[in-house]
Structure 1
């Protein structure tokens, strides 16, 4: 049973749960890869951004840092619990975690997509209105925007604290939606509209105008050097890729949710496999952003190199200090 399957009720559990050992092993392997890549990748992103000290001057870095926090929180607090569900076919963490884990899933989802929308607006203002937006695009205002993002995420994800409950079915503990069908459908549609459709519209509109301005337009306000324009293009490419990955990874989940409510969606092994696949793709989104940064941003790669060199120097320094300590002790013993 998947965490995002908000339309799988108790009566359908026995007809859709298939405990095939091969599938369980494959799913466990995929979850392990998502957890390892997501934890290491997002931790490196946060470390590079924190170490270069540019969050005090670059608004985009503030948003990327917040996106990394949301992705890392999802990986740490949600993926291990959901992996256990797929391998054990029951909920073993108690009623409190049943509510909290699913709440964090949707909290981080909203925080991620709202942050992406904020980044797209920031890039649009920076590129299309560089002079007028200069006083508006400050790290202080970016931090205020991040606080607003989390407040909105709390507002939209708060109902999920009562949406899921732990129930017992034939001695098997399940964490399932307990709302009536009508409010459940309303909640799922609200999540689709405000957690996907509206942000997708904002991303599409802002990035379409930004890309058109960068690649075809001439800025009438300021004559930019070619190097500055190339740098803006690289950053825009990177953020468009991150936004596109989020939309593509979450699209299967939302499409299946709509099919469950409004279309023919029989509960059988095929649809169960489709739900599992849609969940895994959505989970994987939280570990893909660091890969995009590493492929597109030379500054991120340089930051990773600096971080590696710093760690190596510290390790080398620690070894040298230990050698000096041993030599000092040996000299003292010899003198005595």
Structure 2
């Protein structure tokens, strides 16, 4: 299980290098904008700051992940578990916050009058705080369980046991697949609502098309980043539960490892999809009562 796949390692070191470079630039710009240029704590700013924090967790782990693709792990299990916790903060917290952003847009467009009371900075901060506390608690529980039962390993950031992990399945189903369904529903409803809106001018029609393009792009990138990983985790759990073929298990682990690398693109694409279009989305969708977001 701990034998390396050179092709996978080359792909990952190349991908992670690009993600680290672009992610550092984009997220540094986001820190500058959200920490020093924006003074008022709005719903959008709170969501973006939470998303930014989770992306920074991933960026912190990338040098160690690149090291682990080329060298045996000699930094100890405790440090490996801590780094993996930072990594998974990005994966699942990002999914949860992106889902909240989609729900926020859905509520503002579908229920514009009720959104005045539902969309408040305090409620947004509370929702983000709950998400962070839940996943921090889950990771602490997982770390304690691993350190009690595991021995030193030469590999980090990769599953090294053939035993199916039930916790991983639960996280995939409830932390990724369920939010994905919610995101698809909210995005679809937003698009349908915008398409049904009566156009009164050419400019308004252009604004609607641009807003629809933003929603579609956000959804497409979310699926690109997280659908392969979610599918891979479920398939791996099924194969490990019913098969004892070591070569097949190793193959699906390589596939999941590649899918994890692809999901890391989210760290860069968050900036493009949310930091730079959030303001434009709300300014361009002038078809409904405006809200300070």
Shorter-chain TM-score above 0.5: yes
Greater CA deviation, 287-296 or 106-115? 287-296
Matched, 1:136 2:112: no
User: Offset at 1:255?
Assistant: 2.0
- Who is 1:79 aligned against? 62
Match of 2:136 among 139, 146, 154: 154
- Who is 1:37 aligned against? 22
SS in 2 for 1:158: helix
User: Offset at 1:65?
Assistant: 2.4
- Who is 1:323 aligned against? none
Q: Contact 2:55 / 2:90 at 8 angstroms: preserved in 1?
A: yes
For the pair shown, which has the larger CA radius of gyration, 1 or 2? 1
User: Offset at 1:35?
Assistant: 0.7
CA distance in 2, matches of 1:150, 1:211: 30
Q: Contact 1:38 / 1:287 at 8 angstroms: preserved in 2?
A: yes
Matched, 1:254 2:254: no
Matched, 1:210 2:190: yes
Superposition TM-score, scaled by structure 1 size: 0.68
CA distance in 2, matches of 1:272, 1:179: 10
Q: Contact 1:203 / 1:243 at 8 angstroms: preserved in 2?
A: yes
- Give deviations 1:181-232, integer Å, cap 9, x for gaps: 3xx53212101111111111211222222221122146xxxx9999789768
- Give deviations 1:232-265, integer Å, cap 9, x for gaps: 8756643553343233212222222222222367
SS in 2 for 1:84: helix
Q: In structure 2, do the counterparts of structure 1 residues 271 and 202 end up closer, same or farther at CA, with 3 Å as the change threshold?
A: closer
Gaps of 5+ in 2: 282-293
CA distance in 1, matches of 2:197, 2:59: 40
User: Offset at 1:49?
Assistant: 2.8
- Give deviations 1:6-63, integer Å, cap 9, x for gaps: xxxxxx224xx24x4x76555323221111111111121232233442653x422321
Q: Contact 1:34 / 1:284 at 8 angstroms: preserved in 2?
A: yes
Q: In structure 2, do the counterparts of structure 1 residues 135 and 61 end up closer, same or farther at CA, with 3 Å as the change threshold?
A: same
Match of 1:97 among 62, 66, 79: 79
Q: In structure 2, do the counterparts of structure 1 residues 45 and 243 end up closer, same or farther at CA, with 3 Å as the change threshold?
A: farther
- Who is 2:35 aligned against? 50
Superposition TM-score, scaled by structure 2 size: 0.77
- Who is 1:280 aligned against? 261
Higher relative contact order (Cα pairs below 8 Å, separated by 6+ residues):
2
- Who is 2:271 aligned against? 290
Q: Contact 1:103 / 1:157 at 8 angstroms: preserved in 2?
A: yes
Match of 2:95 among 103, 108, 113: 113
Q: In structure 2, do the counterparts of structure 1 residues 26 and 110 end up closer, same or farther at CA, with 3 Å as the change threshold?
A: closer
- Who is 1:245 aligned against? 221
SS in 1 for 2:151: strand
User: Offset at 1:177?
Assistant: 5.8
CA distance in 1, matches of 2:205, 2:38: 23
CA distance in 1, matches of 2:206, 2:129: 31
SS in 2 for 1:288: helix
CA distance in 2, matches of 1:49, 1:229: 31
User: Offset at 1:159?
Assistant: 3.0
User: Offset at 1:122?
Assistant: 0.9
CA distance in 1, matches of 2:275, 2:118: 29
Gaps of 5+ in 1: 1-11, 301-336
